[in-house]
Amino acid sequence: MAVSQLYATSSTRSETFLHYNSSLSRFIQFGSRNRLFLIRTLNSSRLKTPSFCVRNVSSEPKQKRNHPVVSEQVSSALNGYTPDAASITSSIKYHAEFTPLFSPEKFELTKAFFATAQSVRDSLIINWNATYDCYEKLNVKQAYYLSMEFLQGRALLNAIGNLGLTGAYAEALSKLGHNLENVLGQEPDAALGNGGLGRLASCFLDSLATLNYPAWGYGLRYRYGLFKQRTTKDGQEEVAEDWLEMGNPWEIVRNDVSYPIKFYGKVVSGSDGKSHWIGGEDIKAVAYDVPIPGYKTKTTINLRLWSTKVPSGDFDLYAFNAGDHTKAAEALSNAEKICYILYPGDESIEGKILRLKQQYTLCSASLQDIIVRFERRSGANVNWDEFPEKVAVQMNDTHPTLCIPEMMRILVDLKGLSWKEAWNITQRTVAYTNHTVLPEALEKWSLELMQKLLPRHVEIIEMIDEELIHTIVSEYGTADPDLLEKKLKEMRILDNVDLPATFANLIVKPKESTVVVPSDELETTEEEVESVSEEPEAENILEEEKEVEAVPEPPKLVRMANLCIVGGHAVNGVAEIHSEIVKDEVFNEFYKLWPEKFQNKTNGVTPRRWIRFCNPDLSRIITYWIGTEDWVINTEKLAELRKFADNEDLQTQFRAAKRNNKMKVVSLIKERTGYTVSPDAMFDIQVKRIHEYKRQLMNILGIVYRYKQMKEMSAAERKAKFVPRVCIFGGKAFATYVQAKRIVKFITDVGATVNHDPEIGDLLKVVFVPDYNVSVAELLIPSSELSQHISTAGMEASGTSNMKFAMNGCILIGTLDGANVEIREEVGEDNFFLFGAEAHEIAGLRKERADGKFVPDPRFEEVKEYVRSGIFGPYNYDELMGSLEGNGGFGRADYFLVGKDFPSYIECQEKVDEAYRDQKGWTRMSIMNTAGSYKFSSDRTIHEYARDIWEIEPVELP
Residues annotated catalytic, as ranges: 435, 688-689, 694, 800, 804
Question: Cα–Cα distance between 119 and 249 in angstroms, integer?
Answer: 10
Reduced to 3 DSSP states, what percent helix, strand and coil does the chain have, rounded to the nearest 5? Answer: 50, 15, 35
Coil vs helix vs strand at 829 = helix
Question: Cα–Cα distance between 870 and 112 in angstroms, integer?
Answer: 51
- Adjacent-strand bridge partners of 304: 218, 289
8 Å CB contact between 318 and 327: no
Length of the chain measured in residues: 958
Nearest 5°: the CA angle 440, 442, 443 is: 95
Neighbouring residues of 300: CB distance < 8 A, sequence distance ≥ 6 = 124, 127, 128, 130, 131, 209, 291, 292, 293, 294
Nearest CA to 949 out of 211, 215, 366 is that of: 215
Question: Cα–Cα distance between 249 and 289 in angstroms, integer?
Answer: 11
8 Å CB contact between 94 and 106: no
Question: Cα–Cα distance between 300 and 874 in angstroms, integer?
Answer: 55
Measuring CA to CA, how many Å separate 56 from each of 27, 33, 52, 91, 175? Answer: 11, 13, 13, 8, 12
Measuring CA to CA, how many Å separate 235 from each of 96, 274, 752, 857, 875? Answer: 42, 56, 12, 29, 11
Measuring CA to CA, how many Å separate 724 from each of 671, 764, 797, 957? Answer: 22, 6, 33, 53
What angle do helix axes 919-931 and 898-917 make, rounded to 10 degrees?
Answer: 110
Q: How far apart are the first and last CA of the chain?
A: 9
DSSP class of residue 410? Answer: I
DSSP class of residue 503? Answer: G
Alpha helices in 261-391 (DSSP H): 317-321, 325-328, 330-336, 349-378, 387-390
8 Å CB contact between 700 and 746: yes
Alpha carbon 84 to its chain's center: 36
Using CB atoms within 10 Å of the CB of residue 807, give its burial: 0 to 12 exposed, 13 to 18 middle, 19+ buried.
buried
Torsion of CA 620, 683, 730, 293, to 10 degrees: 0
Question: Cα–Cα distance between 824 and 88 in angstroms, integer?
Answer: 45
Question: Cα–Cα distance between 855 and 764 in angstroms, integer?
Answer: 30
3-state secondary structure 288-312: EEEEEECCCCCCEEEEEEEEEECCH
